[in-house]
């Protein structure tokens, strides 16, 4: 049996901050150069928003996995497995299964029907102004919640990387991460962001595969040896191998979380937008297949990394490090490879965060510029250059707001924060998308009711849940105004959105039958969307 390493202290991890910082700065410099080279001529909306549809299915699939393999996956999941065991791995299973929803129901038809955003899909056979406002509001709010998780993960990682323990220092780390993220979006647009995603995803998958093989070799390729060591160095002991460490007291909370995980991913605005970066529907299917297999391989690696972290580092050391659970993977890297491997893993993790937040910020800015500015304020008569300029200004605004929010939620597990964003996405977007693509009678009243009821109920229940107040891990631990018992509201808000959309459609006036027929033809063939078929 391999001997457990002494748990590294936070001071030890910061023993060579210049090396760590050098690797991080090197990656940022290289990717910014790539972004600048590939993004010349980003003056049209098609090039800035969708990279002109130039990427192949394989390239877009890797970028899709890069868009989703975020701080929640690399840092949050590994940390949850290290500290909580089996229940932490539930997130991985939910996220892999969720991509089948996109492959079977949404991806191809959405790409055929729209042009840049979800608002394009809804506005085709409904009243443009109200549904575009609703779609933009949904996109901005969901993207913001998702951004909070990434920025919080970035702050914790930089704090660990440079051994920053003060609240002020960690806040400054979040500001720096947010500023670099804004720079990516301003320079790159969709084409530059996609290439950053491809580079990042390749590095991340390669890094995780090599670390996993090394860890398996360290334990003699004996998985039971890893699990045995993990039970000895985790405060839960043998309980980390059984379900119930996180959700044993409230099974309903687990069901609610599972619904959010499985139904939320392909409702995320930045995932939906990536379907428009390929030339045709066949490449959308290829993109999703590539993404699914990338996820399967990656999440198998997180299982090994998570249990190895608690075996070699110990759950107590993880929970007392800057970033807490989010520090499990970097601490493991230091334990097995010293400062060099820590610097490499941290640089890859930071690249992961920067690439994801760049994609999120781009999506939010495109939604506002395209749906609100171009089609509502300018009534479809906006100059492309001015529309792109509005998108860039929106990116700066979203970045600043994300930095402020990230400071507030610093230290929270990023996988858990992402689960809340997924609940919002499934509640606001899923019912509206499915009804719009598959129900001929669906109308404007149904779309508005579905989006606003899901978005509003989910936000209200989050505010009234133990996530915000009433528990030691809450955002406001010293206050208690929670009345909703579940940490994730998906079990209530997702069905409510479907019900409200259905009832409002029956009550509202029928949509134009000709438009309904055109929508079906467009969704199945792509003819009339303005995109290549």
Taking the chain (533 residues) in consecutive chunks of 10 residues, what is each chunk's mean pLDDT? 43 57 76 72 60 77 81 78 86 81 77 73 81 88 81 69 71 78 71 80 87 90 89 83 75 86 84 79 85 89 91 87 78 83 76 74 80 80 78 83 78 69 90 87 92 93 85 76 87 95 89 73 65 50
DSSP 8-state secondary structure symbol assigned to residue 55: -
DSSP 8-state secondary structure symbol assigned to residue 320: T
- Measured from the Cβ of residue 37, the count of other Cβ atoms closer than 10 Å reads 10
pLDDT for position 441: 87
pLDDT for position 4: 44
CA torsion through residues 448, 266, 90, 230, sign: negative
CA distance 400 to 409: 15
First vs last C-alpha separation in the chain: 58
Q: What is the CA radius of gyration of the chain?
A: 22
**10-525, what's its fold?**
Sodium/glucose cotransporter (1.20.1730)
Give the CA distances from residue 43 to residues 64, 184, 388, 458, in Å, rounded to whole numbers and listed in that order: 24, 16, 7, 37
Cβ-based neighbours of 378, under 8 Å, separated by 6 or more: none
pLDDT for position 45: 63
CA torsion through residues 475, 481, 484, 485, sign: positive
Nearest-5° Cα angle at 398, 426 to 364: 45
Return the exposure string of 365-403: e unless at least 16 CB atoms fall within 10 Å of the residue's CB, then b: bbbbbbbbbbbbeeeeebeeeebbebbbebbebbbebbb
pLDDT for position 53: 65
CA distance 47 to 82: 42
Cβ-based neighbours of 123, under 8 Å, separated by 6 or more: 131, 132, 375
**In whole angstroms, what separates CA 113 from the centre of its chain?**
24
Nearest-5° Cα angle at 528, 523 to 531: 85
DSSP H helical ranges for 105-221: 107-113, 118-123, 128-161, 167-218
pLDDT for position 40: 61
Please, which residues bridge with residue 469 across strands? 476
**In whole angstroms, what separates CA 355 from the centre of its chain?**
11
Q: Which secondary structure element, helix H or strand E, spans residue 478, and what is its range?
A: none
Contact 142, 269 (CB under 8 A): yes
By three-state DSSP, how is residue 259 classified?
helix
């Amino acid at each position: 049996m391999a001997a457990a390493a002494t748990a590294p202290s936070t001071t030890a991890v910061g023993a060579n901050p210049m090396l760590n910082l050098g690797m991080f700065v090197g990656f940022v410099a290289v990717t910014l150069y790539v972004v600048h080279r590939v993004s010349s001529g980003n003056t049209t909306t098609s090039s800035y928003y969708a990279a002109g549809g130039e990427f192949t299915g394989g390239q877009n699939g890797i970028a899709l996995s890069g868009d989703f393999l975020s701080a929640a996956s690399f840092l949050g999941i590994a940390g949850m497995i290290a500290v909580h065991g089996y229940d932490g791995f539930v997130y991985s299973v939910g996220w892999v299964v969720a991509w089948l929803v996109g492959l079977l129901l949404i991806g191809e038809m959405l790409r055929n029907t729209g042009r840049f955003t979800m608002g394009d899909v809804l506005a085709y056979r409904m009243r443009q102004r109200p549904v575009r406002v609703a779609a933009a509001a949904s996109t901005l709010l969901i993207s913001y919640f998702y951004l909070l998780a990434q920025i919080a993960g970035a702050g914790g990682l930089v704090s660990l990387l440079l051994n920053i323990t003060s609240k002020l220092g960690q806040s400054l780390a979040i500001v720096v991460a947010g500023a670099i993220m804004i720079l990516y979006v301003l320079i790159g647009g969709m084409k530059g962001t996609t290439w950053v995603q491809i580079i990042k995803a390749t590095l991340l998958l390669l890094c995780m595969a090599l670390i996993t093989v090394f860890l398996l070799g360290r334990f003699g390729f004996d998985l039971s040896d890893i699990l045995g060591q993990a039970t000895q160095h985790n405060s839960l002991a043998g309980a980390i191998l059984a379900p119930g460490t996180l959700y044993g007291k409230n099974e309903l909370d687990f069901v609610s979380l599972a619904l959010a995980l499985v139904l939320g991913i392909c409702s995320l605005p930045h995932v939906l937008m990536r379907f428009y970066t390929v030339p045709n529907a066949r490449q959308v299917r290829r993109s999703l297949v590539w993404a699914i297999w990338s996820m399967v391989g990656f999440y198998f690696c997180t299982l090994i990394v998570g249990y190895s972290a608690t075996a070699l580092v110990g759950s107590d050391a993880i929970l007392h490090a800057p970033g807490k659970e989010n520090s499990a993977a970097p601490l493991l890297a230091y334990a097995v490879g010293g400062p060099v491997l820590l610097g490499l893993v941290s640089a890859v993790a930071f690249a992961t965060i920067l690439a994801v937040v760049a994609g999120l910020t781009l999506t939010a800015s495109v939604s506002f510029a395209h749906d609100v500015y171009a089609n509502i304020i300018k009534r479809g008569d906006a100059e492309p250059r001015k529309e792109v300029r509005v998108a860039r200004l929106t990116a700066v605004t979203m970045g600043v707001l994300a930095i402020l929010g990230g400071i507030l939620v610093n230290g929270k597990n990023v996988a858990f924060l992402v689960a809340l964003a997924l609940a919002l996405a499934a509640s606001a977007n899923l019912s509206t998308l499915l009804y719009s693509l598959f129900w001929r009678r669906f109308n404007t009243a149904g779309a508005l009711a579905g989006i606003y009821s899901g978005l509003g109920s989910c936000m209200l229940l989050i505010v009234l849940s133990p996530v915000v107040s009433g528990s030691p891990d809450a955002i406001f631990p010293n206050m208690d105004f929670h009345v909703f018992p579940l940490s994730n509201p998906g079990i209530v808000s997702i069905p409510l959105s479907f019900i409200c959309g259905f009832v409002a459609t029956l009550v509202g006036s029928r949509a134009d039958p000709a438009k309904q027929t055109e929508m079906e033809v467009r969704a199945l063939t792509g003819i009339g969307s303005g995109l290549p078929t």
